[in-house]
Amino acid sequence: MNELSSPVSIIMCFYNEHHITLLRSINTILRRTSREQLKEIILVDDSSDKVNSNLKEEISKIDKYKIVKIYRNNKREGLIRSRVYGARQATGEILLFLDSHIEVNQNWLPPLILPILANRTRVTVPIIDLINPDTFDYTSSPLVRGGFNWGLHFKWENLPKDTLKSGEDYTKPFKSPAMAGGLFAIDREYFKHLGEYDMGMSIWGGENIELSLRIWQCGGQILIIPCSRIGHIFRKRRPYGSPDGKDTMLINSLRAALVWLDDYKGYFLNTSGIEKIPEYGNIDDRLKLRNELKCKNFQWYLKNVYPELEIPGQRKNTDALKPEFVPWNMRKRNYLKSFYIKLHNTNLCVTANYKEGIHILKKGTKLKLSKCSSNKNQQWYQTDKLELILGRLLCLELSPSKINNSPVLNKCHESGGDQQWKIKGNLTVSLYNIAAGTCLAVNKSEKNALLVSSLCSNAYMNRWDLVLL
């Protein structure tokens, strides 16, 4: 069999997904994937509130290979159990889990398949690019890897030093301690061997970190594949909330910590602020699985896979490619403009939300409106990298991965994305964040009102005047 013709089963679960977005995701797969590489596309409707009676007909119009199969859960099961159900219906040799709001890029699939065909214990992850939820504009992401904090919350990190030594290194697969979880490929039999997902977990949250730890500690690898790119829409609201109101992210993460963190689980409990352990179900079968697979302990994982994860109270020298901080007045920067950002038709300007009596810029500081003045702490600088820098010190940042997020000041990482702002308009403008796909806004036109992000179509309170210095 041709190594590139290994049948792949794509599994895509959805709940209340907009049907146009869902159809668009399926259409890009069908248009940009060779039939020889594609066994089937399995759609699992997690008992959406509204059933689109025309969905099968609409899919049949674009399903030129007649390989799309639709299943529907009788009740809400959540993303985790829905993915397991989809995987159990699959017949392809390789499973490829995709979110239902994506766009595959050109020649996206072969680079994901080849490493698995060479070694079935490899789990491959594409570069996840950004799709604007308003305009569907596609923006490429930099090369980063996945990690997490002691609360077991996923985060993107810079690559370790010396990862990218030559031009070839920018196209080679590289190891990642964790994966975001929305998009990845895995050998079907290996997925079963590893124990699929933890079926004791509910709805959504934490399953990606648990699976990442299990892969590494039980003999596998997670590889990010630079030559495979898939765009992803980071939505402003996640539909996978728990019907009973439980914090499934916390409970699922607790299960992962109790199974995989060993003597380090106390750091998770402290970071999560858990005062009373919530009911988390039975984990005996997961502990038994760990023993049967002869998995390594978490200390091995820290030493061999993720030495950059700092243990609270201990300082480590890491080799991550973090930009060395140099005072902005000593950096060579190409500043295009400098201005005050004034809310339209007011005398209120954007400044840092300082603590009372303390006027020091710190990372993570939110923004607020203040009476316009000549104060340097209201002076913004735009660079040729589309950064907006307050006082030539910290960049305006808006994370696309956080829900109901607010813009903050942060160290300039010079990687674009969440620190890139497009100025749309001439005299009165909107400030559009490329990664989040939303605009800078406020909810109230008054002093000390905090800045927020909102859809750019919501014209109220997101119009600004740039007063040149």
pLDDT, residue 147, reads 94
Q: Is the model more confident about 322 or about 107?
A: 107
Rounded to whole angstroms, the Cα distance separating 39 from 89 reads 12
Percent of all residues in the chain with a pLDDT value above 70, rounded to a whole number? 89
Q: Tokens 């080799």, residue?
A: 319
Q: Is the pLDDT of residue 434 over 80?
A: no
pLDDT, residue 229, reads 95
pLDDT, residue 183, reads 97
The pTM of the full predicted model, rounded to 2 decimals, is 0.70
Rounded to whole angstroms, the Cα distance separating 290 from 17 reads 35
Domain 8-305 has CATH 3.90.550.10: yes
In a 13 Å sphere around the CA of 411, the CA atoms on its Cβ side amount to 7
pLDDT, residue 371, reads 93
pLDDT, residue 303, reads 96
pLDDT, residue 359, reads 57
Q: Is the model more confident about 209 or about 235?
A: 209
Give the architecture-level CATH label for domain 335-468.
Trefoil (2.80)
Tell me the pLDDT tens digit for each residue of 85-129.
999 999 999 999 999 999 999 999 999 999 999 999 999 999 999
Span 244-254, average pLDDT: 85
Q: Which residues contact 156 (CB under 8 A, 6 or more apart)?
A: 144, 145, 146, 147
Tell me the pLDDT tens digit for each residue of 334-366.
889 999 999 999 999 999 887 655 556 777 889
Rounded to whole angstroms, the Cα distance separating 342 from 466 reads 6
**What are residue 366's phi and psi, to 5 degrees?**
-80, 175
Q: Which residues contact 280 (CB under 8 A, 6 or more apart)?
A: 200, 251, 254, 255, 258
Domain ranges in the chain are 8-305, 335-468
